Structure 1
Amino acid sequence: MTLIRKIAASQDGTVTLTQANAAGLTVHEVHRLCRSGRWRRLARAGYLVDADRYAEIPRRVRIRAAVASFGRSAAAVLDTAAELHGIAGTRRTEAIHVSLPGPAVRPSRDTDPAVIIHQLTIGAAQLCDVAGIPVTRPVRTVADIIVRADRFTAVSVLDSAVNRQVVTAEEFAMIPGLIRGRRGAVAARGYLAECDGRAQSPLETRLRLRCVDGRVAPDVLQHEVRDRDGCLLGVGDLAWLAARLIGEADGREVHGTPEAVYQDRWRQNRIVNAGWRILRFTWDDTMRPDYIPFVVRNALAASPLPR
């Protein structure tokens, strides 16, 4: 079992039946390990080793098993590829998007019910691997998503890919060619023009787009607020400079802990004392098209606080 665990360690704790056989285990022994609960069958000829250590199957394990179950020609694509690359902006669901070449393949009874099969034409140069999982490269992943997604999702994905530097400026320039002639390409070219890699989260992207739509676009993103001595007091997500107004995106993941709340209050007090005003917005606020522009417009019309 030492060899099996060594193989599994490089594959998120999983092995294939072929690997188990090569390490000396028979099919009968593999089945016995599954019946005992020590192993768990994930998909066709794929197993999670030491399954009794897991309260639930990790997400990447499920993705790995799903892709592997369709053979070497399969690859993770679309939202699943974005997830593996660490690109934010798509709505996280249980779905696992897998592409296969050739005619449509019907999932077997062993296939994870969350698997969605696609037939995308993907060149070898447009594939890579993430921890051994075949996946479309980040630039191809982004191109595939933005021709299918709504504007807010598409721009969020573009912003995230650029901000996290998984898509370089040179690769970004390749996207128009990757989407040319595809359904949704006309709208997607507009999304490319709205990309701003300074946005650090999908919430910031959505906040910015609401402001743009409401004709109160910010002057700058990630604005450094400093005191008279040049000491950095904080960085505002969005800023309207003449009005000395900051817009903050209050995401649950970053700002939802008690420690983050205290840190935000401390930083806000320093910025306000320097003569700036702060507006704070949540994800729910971005679901109301007119709300954010209305609040910002009223704040811009008000006289700034004295310095």
Structure 2
Amino acid sequence: MPLPPELTLVAKRQEGLVTAMQCRESGLSSGRASRLVDRGLWRSLSPRVFDTAPAPMSARHPDHRRRRAAMFGALEFGPDAIVVGGPALALHGVLGLPPTIQPQIALPGGRRVYSRHHVRARMFDDGMDVIEVEGFTLATVEWALTQLVPETSREVAIACMDSARNLGLLTSGALRRSHARARGRRGVARTHPWWELSDQRAQSPLETRARLDCVDHGIPPDSLQVPVRDAGGVERLGDLGWILDDGSWLIVEIDSNEFHTGAAAIAQDMARHNAITATAQTVLHVRAGDVYTVGKVSGLVRETLAARNNRRGDR
């Protein structure tokens, strides 16, 4: 017997999750829900929430895992729940979070609530602004960063700042306000220099990590999203760029399918890489795994710059 159509739509909208209340409202009895769980077709995540498409977490795309975690927290605590911190950023579409995040919620009015079923319940931040996205109430990006940054790593924090700004979800003024609100929170002291390192031109967390590695090793890029023209006169954008003495560029291109889920997007990215490589610029192709190795990208850049300088000196 097929599921009620309205429940199927709800599950699709909620990354496969439905609540016991949503089941009852669609006409699906608690007995039938229990039988679906017993047969392994569904999984009970808590007495209140079911997973209608159970699969190993390792088999799920990271974006799905993050969104699912964020939605589970809200569904577990009911319609008054406000998704906060990293999970709120995930539902806003901000990139840069770890593949696995802990659900986090707060309840309005300062109501005290205790964590349960791996959902972290936070105290409501006085004056917090919220917004509705996809039927869920979320902290705004500005407030979610205030909550996240003092509790996460430098790379994750700056990648999220970069992504939020690149997507047009956060202005420079909002970033400053977010930083100001974070002052006084536990763990914030170490983060003060991070806020100044955000760059809205970064188009992926991998670009952010590569840039930070170069900054940390004393060779920050001269520009991001460097415009170069290919043989056909089409303007292409290189990820990171260092201008050379002869006026050409050393371009670092980061090769990764992590943020491209479709064949068309992958093909488009490959065409861009090839077109930039075919220009008169010097191009370094960096694998995604290299970006996570401290000193790898900066080392490649430093070696290439040194080799170019040596060649000029031999002329």
TM-score, normalization: structure 2?
0.76
Match of 2:146 in 1: 143
After superposition, give the CA deviation of every residue in 1:215-240 in whole Å (9 maximum; x if it has no partner).
111110001002699x2352110111
Cα distance change of structure 1 residues 15 and 276 upon mapping to structure 2, 3 Å threshold: closer
Task: Determine if the alignment matches structure 1 residue 270 to structure 2 residue 275.
Answer: no
Q: Which amino acid aligns with 2:267?
A: E
Task: Determine if the alignment matches structure 1 residue 92 to structure 2 residue 109.
Answer: no
How far is the alpha carbon of 1:276 from its aligned partner?
0.8
Match of 1:35 in 2: 35
Match of 1:301 in 2: 306
How far is the alpha carbon of 1:179 from its aligned partner?
0.7
| 3-state SS of 1:90 partner | coil
**Structure 1: which 5+ residue stretches go unaligned?**
none
**C-alpha contact 1:42 1:62 (8 A) present in aligned 2:** no
Report the Cα distance in structure 1 between the residues aligned to 2:113 and 2:225, rounded to whole angstroms: 46
Cα distance change of structure 1 residues 203 and 63 upon mapping to structure 2, 3 Å threshold: closer
% identical aligned pairs:
27
| 3-state SS of 2:73 partner | helix
**C-alpha contact 1:237 1:248 (8 A) present in aligned 2:** yes
95-104 or 71-80: which moved more?
95-104
How far is the alpha carbon of 1:252 from its aligned partner?
3.2
Task: Determine if the alignment matches structure 1 residue 195 to structure 2 residue 202.
Answer: no
How far is the alpha carbon of 1:192 from its aligned partner?
1.0
Match of 1:241 in 2: 243
Match of 1:184 in 2: 187
Match of 1:105 in 2: 114
User: For the aligned residues, what is the CA RMSD?
Assistant: 3.5
Report 1:1-307 matches (<5 A): 5-6=5-6, 9-10=9-10, 12=14, 16-18=19-21, 29-36=29-36, 41-47=44-50, 51=52, 54=53, 56=55, 59=65, 60=67, 63-93=70-100, 95-100=102-107, 101-103=110-112, 105=114, 107=116, 111=117, 115-123=118-126, 125-226=128-229, 231-243=233-245, 244-254=249-259, 259=267, 262-263=270-271, 266-271=274-279, 275-303=280-308
After superposition, give the CA deviation of every residue in 1:142-184 in whole Å (9 maximum; x if it has no partner).
1211111221111111101111112233322311221121123
Q: Which amino acid aligns with 1:135?
A: L
How far is the alpha carbon of 1:97 from its aligned partner?
2.6
Q: Which amino acid aligns with 1:92?
A: P
Q: Which amino acid aligns with 2:307?
A: A
**Structure 2: which 5+ residue stretches go unaligned?**
57-63
Report the Cα distance in structure 1 between the residues aligned to 2:21 and 2:256, rounded to whole angstroms: 45
**C-alpha contact 1:43 1:65 (8 A) present in aligned 2:** no
TM-score, normalization: structure 1?
0.78
253-262 or 293-302: which moved more?
253-262
Q: Which amino acid aligns with 1:164?
A: L
Q: How many residues align?
A: 289
After superposition, give the CA deviation of every residue in 1:25-84 in whole Å (9 maximum; x if it has no partner).
7xxx33234325687655334456xx4xx3549754564343232234432222222211
Cα distance change of structure 1 residues 252 and 23 upon mapping to structure 2, 3 Å threshold: closer
**C-alpha contact 2:241 2:251 (8 A) present in aligned 1:** yes
How far is the alpha carbon of 1:103 from its aligned partner?
4.1
**C-alpha contact 1:198 1:221 (8 A) present in aligned 2:** yes
**C-alpha contact 1:233 1:270 (8 A) present in aligned 2:** no
Cα distance change of structure 1 residues 180 and 195 upon mapping to structure 2, 3 Å threshold: same
Report the Cα distance in structure 1 between the residues aligned to 2:194 and 2:147, rounded to whole angstroms: 13
